Amino acid sequence: MKSLQLLSFLLLSCIIISANAYEGKKKEALGSQSEHTTAKKYQRNLETKFRLYTDTAEGSCRVFVNQLETLDKCGFNASLPLVMIVHGWSVDGILESWIWKMAAALKSQHNQMNVIVADWLTLAHQHYPIAVQNTRTTGQEIAQFVEWLEESVQFSRSNVHLIGYSLGAHVSGFAGSFINGTKKIGRITGLDPAGPLFEGMSPTDRLSPDDANFVDAIHTFTKQHMGLSVGIKQPVAHFDFYPNGGTFQPGCHILHVYNHIAQYGINGIAQTVKCAHERSVHLFIDSLLHKDKQSTAYWCNDINTFNKGLCLNCRKNRCNTLGYNIREERLPKSRRLFLKTRARMPFKVYHYQFKIHIVNEIEGKQIEPAFTMSLAGTKEDAKKLHIPLVEGITGNKTYSFLITLDTDIGDIIMVKLKWEGTPVWENIWDTFQTIIPWRKGTRRPGLIVKAIRVKAGETQHKYTFCPQSIDNIHLHPSQEKTFVSCEDHFQRNI
């Protein structure tokens, strides 16, 4: 983790250094301003290039504002909705490869749409603070583009969906707030909206829920260094998704830098830093490519509560679908939704809350939680799941935790719980038993697990499991106990 922090630190340092260099640059820019404005007068085109994605060899076709014939030439279909992809800050001045992956994914799954890439590279390939300033200009130009579509081909702005990554998320926000008239753009999706110079700003100075009829955001890299994080932490949408808590993403660990170097050469280092930031993009693409594997996220106060499995509730809009197929519901307040994901596509996991009632018969003796669990499902089994309990097992208490599975195992029909006693533990345990005379006869005390209750987030099904054998309910180190569905217990003879 040390080196990872170093890498993120380097990235942020770049931002900070360029922020300091900014003051000097500003004076320079002022000097050349008159020259710049005269140039602009003759230049009819906007700085932003609107590239309509096509299936041709060229890959895209440029649409020029105020040149109606370019819409026809490029094959813009005004009776279909428009999705516009807006990239972020550019370090190397070229369009990143995810843009075309996203365009292709949008087109292949939902061919009934126009896909345009808003190329603002000339304004984004700048020192970070300058690029930040330019987000307003670009937003303005996108708004003008949409207004022009409205005037020229009666294209309704409610049919526009802006998808902005990093700084592009705020560009989209500005586009939504600068557009003239009372009606709003249909939807804005912010993919890990940029944090530095936006975090804590007023809603008019960043992406906010007022910028479109519906706004959603996916936060994937909000790990903080020196008070700054690459992605914005605060909610900025109607639904704000925080995959894996939003701070950092699985598969983006520093160890993967070697894979990335193998794949991208020395640029692999940049890939590693971008990994968690860009994960927001790939989660969105995933939602387009894997229709049968849509990820559900759940409303929760914070990741710790979520990790206890306490938030898997879907009543009253408490859960929603991450990505393109989100249920568009405008709520008065932003909702933070949490979910876990895999490290690669398809990212979906299945979330379960387990509640286990344990009675520790040895008073005053705290048991280290070292349990594993195996599940038998109607479709598949899941073996040797680590139980993420952090607190020691004392007295008489119900423990709640979150378990995620990569595959759909169907309905759960049986649970096996094993106490993974280490040899050392067992030894102590036995010693302990020989010295202490037990009150209740010769019965060997242990842990009693009375019931295991399960709630499946994805299906909202609830299950209760009881010990298979009522006579032998004590669990000892290295032992495994089987729990069967209580509803079935008396009816079926499993």
Ligand X SMILES: *[C@@H]1O[C@H](CO)[C@@H](O)[C@H](O)[C@H]1NC(C)=O
Residues 258 and 359: their CA atoms lie apart, in Å, by 47
Q: Compute the Cα dihedral for 31, 37, 43, 47 and give only its sign.
A: positive
Three-state SS for 338?
strand
Q: At what angle do helices 167-178 and 128-153 cross, to 10 degrees?
A: 40
We find the least distance from the C-beta atom of residue 395 to ligand X, in angstroms, to be: 7
We find the least distance from the C-beta atom of residue 75 to ligand X, in angstroms, to be: 7
Of 178 and 299, nearer to ligand X (C-beta) is 178
We find the least distance from the C-beta atom of residue 182 to ligand X, in angstroms, to be: 13
24's enclosing H/E stretch is helix 2-31
Of 184, 224, 225, 230, which Cα lies nearest the Cα of 208?
184
Of 98 and 178, nearer to ligand X (C-beta) is 178
Given its phi and psi angles, is residue 412 left (phi above 0), alpha (psi -120 to 50 degrees) or beta?
beta
Of 414 and 448, nearer to ligand X (C-beta) is 448
We find the least distance from the C-beta atom of residue 145 to ligand X, in angstroms, to be: 9
Please identify which residue in the block is written with the tokens 């050349």. Answer: 32
Of 95 and 451, nearer to ligand X (C-beta) is 451
Q: Is 277 a catalytic residue?
A: yes
Of 79 and 460, nearer to ligand X (C-beta) is 79
We find the least distance from the C-beta atom of residue 210 to ligand X, in angstroms, to be: 16
Residues 172 and 187: their CA atoms lie apart, in Å, by 10
Please indicate if the annotation marks 205 as binding a ligand: no
306's enclosing H/E stretch is helix 303-307
- Which of 192, 216, 240, 286 does the annotation list as catalytic? 192
Q: Is 357 a catalytic residue?
A: no
We find the least distance from the C-beta atom of residue 144 to ligand X, in angstroms, to be: 5
Residues 131 and 126: their CA atoms lie apart, in Å, by 5
- How far is the CA of 67 from the CAs of 40, 79, 84, 154, 323, in angstroms? 18, 19, 19, 15, 34
Residues 153 and 75: their CA atoms lie apart, in Å, by 13
Please indicate if the annotation marks 157 as binding a ligand: no
We find the least distance from the C-beta atom of residue 449 to ligand X, in angstroms, to be: 12
- Which of 8, 60, 90, 166 does the annotation list as catalytic? 166
* Bridge partners, residue 375, by sequence: 382, 415
Structure tokens that stand for 430 in this block = 């036995």
Residues 75 and 54: their CA atoms lie apart, in Å, by 8
Which residues of this chain interact with ligand X, rule CB under 6 A?
77, 79-80, 112, 140, 143-144, 147, 178-180, 359, 396
In this structure, are residues 95 and 89 in contact, taking their beta carbons and an 8 Å threshold? no
Structure tokens that stand for 45 in this block = 């085109």
Of 378 and 396, nearer to ligand X (C-beta) is 396
- Which of 238, 277, 282, 351 does the annotation list as catalytic? 277
> 325: which residues sit within 8 A by CB, 6+ positions away?
287, 291, 294
434's enclosing H/E stretch is helix 423-435
Of 179 and 373, nearer to ligand X (C-beta) is 179
Residue set of the binding site for Ca(2+): 206, 211
Residues designated as active site: 166, 192, 277
Residue set of the binding site: 206, 211
